Each structure stands twice: as structure tokens, then as C-alpha cells.
Structure 1
């Protein structure tokens, strides 16, 4: 998969329920693993006026049937899938009672973006993450 390697990340978070903004800056590494790529990100998260904290998350990406890429939680549970040959694929995930929707944008590869919208009884936020190769400087944005 073309994602293997180290990426820098900049993320904007808009918590529409709380009226707060946040940001995450860090890096993500896609490492080859049996059947796909392990995804691990680490960085600094700032939410509203709270002190910054170290944050991390991990997933497993693998090639699915046809031209699909499947994203799974680290414990193997299915998260979502998207078409690898679509420059702007989208996907949804229901985690009752919350609904997650993502739209990827690969049109400026190797710079790419993931836009999330999450709604539920206790959640209402938008999150935009920009990725770029770790060896490149410069600004993000699509």
C-alpha cells in the first residue's frame, strides 16, 4: 500500500456541542504487518482551554475485496472501508447510538485529508486531519 511510512499530521477539531475548538499535531506511522498495515499516531492534543496532553490511537488498514481498503480497530473489529481508486471516497460507521461519517481526499497525493463528522446523543463534532510525508516541509491544506 502506498501509505506505508511516516506521515506528519495536523488536525482541527470543532466540538459543536460544547462550542469548543481543538487541535492535534503529531505523526502517524503505517508499518507493514501480516495482511496489511498497522497505523499508529501520537502527538499533542489541545482542547479548548485545557492543558495540552499526549494522545495516541491505532488502527489496522488492509486491502479488502476488489479495490477496497478496510480500516479496522486494533482489536480486529471492522470500522469502515473505502474505494482505493476513488480520489474522494467516503464511508460511514454506526456505533449505536453514534454515527460516524468520513470523506477522504487524495487529489493532492502525497498530501491527503480525512474529514470526519460525528453525531449522537452526546457527540456533535467535526474533525479535519491533514497528512503529508514526514520528510516534506510546508503548509497543509486541500
Structure 2
């Protein structure tokens, strides 16, 4: 599926389910929650006028334990309708360009690295596959996000 504007496509609230297989520990875990991307319009230091705040809140289940999870990122729209993602401290995380319906990216984190594939499966569904490898990490995380009904 083609997406004209990655940022506009992602704006809104999404329900997600994630399964995580940790190959270092042998643990299996799952996470469910809500993710949202909200547009903020103000000029950033790099001159970007369109950007957004990504907020993800969920519950991670590992065996009998359930703990709250949280992820925050800043999105910055680029001139070619792709998006750059940043950690809250301003460090670059990855880019994302869904115009062809699928995108692959690599994020280096010290000696570990992440291979991330994001695929738009419909107007209301996104599939993500993360593989983290290195001396401290060796896991696969698979996430499906569904657009929350705009009437909710």
C-alpha cells in the first residue's frame, strides 16, 4: 500500500500488541497498549515547521509480572514527506518513509544495532519487525498497530 505523506498517515491514536523473544535469556514477553502521534506546529531549531510528539503507554507481561511501559519520541517532517525520529534528548533515532508501503532502517546503539522493518498493511494497520543484535542485546520484537476508531 502506498502512503503519500508518512507523517499525516501516522497522526492519531493506535492500539498495539507486541511480542518479544529475547534470545539471550530465552524469555518471551508481550506488551499491549496505546500509541499516539500528535502534531505540534512551531519552528524547531533546524527550521522544521511540522513535527509531532509520539507517546506510547502499555503493559509489559513477562510470566506473572506485569509492568507499565512508556516510550516517547519526537517526529520531524522532512521536505520529501518522510519523517525523522528523535529521542527526547535530541539524539537521532531513525528515519521513516512509508511512501512505498514499507521501510527498512538500521539504528546503531553503541555496539548493538537494530534492524527495523515497518510495513503498512492497510489504512488502519501497521506491522513492525525489530531485530536487535550485539553483545548486550539479541531479541526480536513484532508489533501490530491498529488505528483506533476516530469515533472513540
Scaled by the length of structure 2, the TM-score of the pair is 0.83
Say which of 88, 92, 104 aligns to 1:78. 92
1:15 is aligned to 22
Out of 109, 134, 142, the residue aligned to residue 123 of structure 2 is 109
Say which SS state the counterpart of residue 21 (structure 2) adopts: strand
Count of residue pairs the alignment pairs up: 135
Q: Aligned Cα RMSD in Å?
A: 1.5
Q: 1:30 aligned to 28, 32, 37, which one?
A: 37
Report the CA distance between 1:91 and its aligned residue. Answer: 0.4
Give the distance between the partners of 1:69 and 1:108, measured in 2 at CA.
19
Contact 2:83 2:95 in 1 (8 A): yes
Secondary structure, in 3 states, of the residue corresponding to 2:123? Answer: coil
- 5 Å-filtered alignment, 1:1-142, equals 1-34=8-41, 35-47=50-62, 49-135=63-149
Gapped regions of structure 2 (runs ≥ 5): 1-7, 42-49
Structure 1 segments unaligned to the other structure (5+ residues): 137-142
Q: Which has the higher contact order (CA 8 A, sep 6+)?
A: 2
Q: Quote the offset at 1:105 in angstroms.
A: 0.6
- The TM-score with structure 1 as length reference comes to 0.88
Q: Following the alignment from structure 1 to structure 2, what is the Cα–Cα distance between the partners of residues 39 and 46?
A: 22
Q: Secondary structure at the match of 1:52?
A: strand
Structure 1 residues 56 and 89, CA gap change in structure 2 (3 angstroms): same
- 1:46 is displaced (CA, Å) by 1.0
Q: Which protein is bigger by CA-based radius of gyration?
A: 2
> Where in structure 1 do 4 or more consecutive aligned residues deviate above 3 Å?
none
